[in-house]
């Protein structure tokens, strides 16, 4: 049997459905790959090998009997550690939830299981999804498969690294301000942040409820389309879920080059020269094919970082108040006094970055500061949403680099939170506006590190993003892992 772990999602799906190999064959190949290489990458916090093998065996039996649950039956999928799986630890990479086993499935997980996907939890992440490098995990630092001295991005760095290193063909992450797209860019894969409300947040441990969204990561666009079609759709258990059906993959069609209006940004000093070069080279090729390039003014969006961090930290302060050592979280009670229980449980359970964001959010929500900070940030958010509406009256799609830099070295920015926050400068506005965006690999820098392109479309128009991504798939094919990890 050939090394099945080398296959991309679309080849795995084809091979399973043709009977070329079984889900058990595939899982055994992936397990061998993970056991051989994850000590270098540290993509997974833990994984229950017996349950994974058992799920693959059940899928194999269904296929042998001619009764697969769907065309996806037996396809493995990585799961970020903040998406609940029944009777599985969901720690959000935090000490405070170190031994928490979820009593229920997230809606996205229920939908995947109904189609026969084989779950492979728990992908490492920044604690409670707060970070841009997966260095804020309470347990381990995930490494970038292209260079293990560098970070994979965050907060879904474990999911992105697992896909890039061929541990799984597809994975779930969550995106609050770029946490699927940014690691996808830094790891040379596809990563989608769907329109807010199209994927249920039920069972996703909340960071910032008005911004969070579950999204898929994959080495090829077909994996993104298929998983999104499975996990999307209305959910009565999520009050923010849009009343729409699941995404229909048949809607995806390549767009006509001639007359396609593409919004582009002016390159600023924050964007590394190699990224700017690849971005402008792609734009030039698109124009040569007949696309119309439109310069857009992104000056208002330059304020998205402070707006985002005020809103996100305020919501995080509210959401994480439940982890108090009594209702949820580890209990530390050194003196028997209620106040000491709260203080000690939270001080020992939360890491520094989580504590920092809770403090920032609590301050912006406090009496005397609410209107000056949180209230103004919400008004500014409305302006950003209107700005996007204005853009899409002029263009069909917006193209930008996903990240201003390629993967930086482990420890390079941990001492300067502001520089770390700036890693999301090109992605946060999408979450504030609630529109969909996807990172697509389009090349490498002079160090061989991946460069991603962010494609943004109007709300509910993921089909345009997918169609365009298929059109430039030749660019993505140039981004392959170095021999050291192949």
Of the candidates 133, 179, 185, 317, the residue annotated as catalytic is 179
Whether 210 and 225 have beta carbons less than 8 Å apart is answered as no
Instruction: Look at residue 207 and give its three-state secondary structure.
Output: coil
Structure tokens given for 354: 């989580």
Q: Judge whether 133 counts as a catalytic residue.
A: no
Based on the residue annotation, tell me whether 80 is a catalytic residue of this protein.
yes
d(C-alpha 424, C-alpha 183), whole Å: 11
Report the alpha-carbon distance of residue 309 to residue 374 in Å, rounded. 10
Cβ atoms within 10 Å of 143's Cβ, excluding its own: 24
Catalytic residue, from 42, 80, 219, 264: name it.
80
Please count the CA atoms within 13 angstroms of the CA of 64 that sit on its side-chain side. Answer: 10
CA–CA distances in Å: residue 307 to residues 138, 177, 303, 379, 408: 27, 11, 6, 10, 25
Residue 128: which residues within 8 A CB-CB, separation 6 or more? 82, 92, 93, 94, 205, 207, 316, 320, 354
d(CA 397, CA 391) in angstroms, rounded, equals 9
Considering the candidates 91, 94, 133, 155, report the single residue annotated as catalytic: 155
CA distances from 439 to 63, 152, 169, 225, 398 (A): 34, 14, 17, 13, 12
Query: Catalytic site residues?
Result: 80, 155, 179
């Amino acid at each position: 049997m050939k090394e099945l772990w080398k296959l991309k999602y679309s080849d795995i799906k084809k091979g399973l459905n043709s009977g070329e190999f079984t889900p058990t064959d595939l899982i055994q190949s992936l397990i061998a790959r993970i056991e051989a290489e994850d000590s270098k990458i540290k993509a997974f916090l833990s994984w229950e090998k017996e349950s994974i093998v058992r799920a693959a065996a059940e899928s194999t039996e269904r296929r042998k009997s001619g009764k697969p649950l769907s065309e996806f039956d037996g396809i493995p999928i990585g799961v970020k550690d903040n998406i609940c799986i029944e009777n599985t630890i969901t720690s959000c990479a935090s000490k405070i939830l170190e031994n928490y086993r979820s009593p229920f499935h997230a809606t996205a997980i229920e939908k995947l299981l109904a189609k026969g996907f084989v779950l492979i939890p728990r992908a490492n992440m920044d604690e409670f999804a707060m970070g841009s490098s997966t260095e804020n995990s309470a347990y381990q630092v995930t490494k970038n498969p292209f260079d293990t001295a560098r970070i994979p991005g965050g907060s879904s760095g474990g999911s992105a690294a697992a896909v890039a290193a061929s541990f799984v063909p597809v994975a779930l992450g969550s995106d609050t301000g770029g946490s699927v797209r940014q690691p996808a860019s830094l790891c040379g894969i596809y990563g989608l942040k769907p329109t807010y409300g199209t994927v249920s947040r039920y069972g996703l441990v909340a960071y910032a409820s008005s911004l969070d969204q579950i999204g898929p990561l994959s080495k090829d666009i077909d994996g993104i389309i298929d998983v999104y079609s499975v996990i999307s759709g209305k959910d009565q258990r999520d009050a923010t879920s849009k009343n729409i059906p699941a995404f229909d993959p048949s809607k995806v069609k390549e767009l006509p080059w001639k007359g396609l209006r593409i919004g582009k940004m002016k390159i600023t000093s924050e964007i590394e020269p190699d990224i700017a070069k690849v971005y402008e080279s792609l734009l030039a090729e698109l124009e040569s094919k007949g696309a119309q390039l439109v310069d857009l003014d992104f000056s208002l969006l330059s304020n998205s970082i402070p707006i985002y961090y005020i809103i996100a930290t305020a919501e995080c302060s509210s959401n994480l108040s439940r982890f108090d050592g009594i209702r949820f979280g580890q209990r530390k009670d050194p003196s028997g006094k209620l106040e000491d229980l709260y203080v000690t449980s939270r001080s020992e359970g939360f890491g520094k970055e989580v504590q920092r964001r809770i403090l920032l959010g609590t301050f912006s929500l406090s009496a005397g500061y609410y209107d000056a900070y949180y209230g103004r940030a919400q008004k500014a958010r409305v302006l950003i949403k209107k700005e996007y509406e204005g853009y899409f009256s002029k263009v069909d799609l917006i193209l930008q680099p996903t990240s201003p830099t390629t993967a930086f070295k482990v420890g390079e920015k941990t001492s300067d939170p502001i520089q770390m926050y700036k890693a999301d400068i090109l992605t946060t506005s999408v979450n504030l506006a609630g529109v969909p965006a996807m990172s697509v690999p389009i090349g490498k820098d002079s160090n061989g590190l991946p460069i991603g392109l962010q494609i943004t479309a109007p709300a509910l128009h993921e089909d345009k993003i997918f169609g365009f991504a298929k059109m430039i798939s030749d660019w993505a094919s140039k981004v392959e892992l170095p021999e050291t990890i192949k």
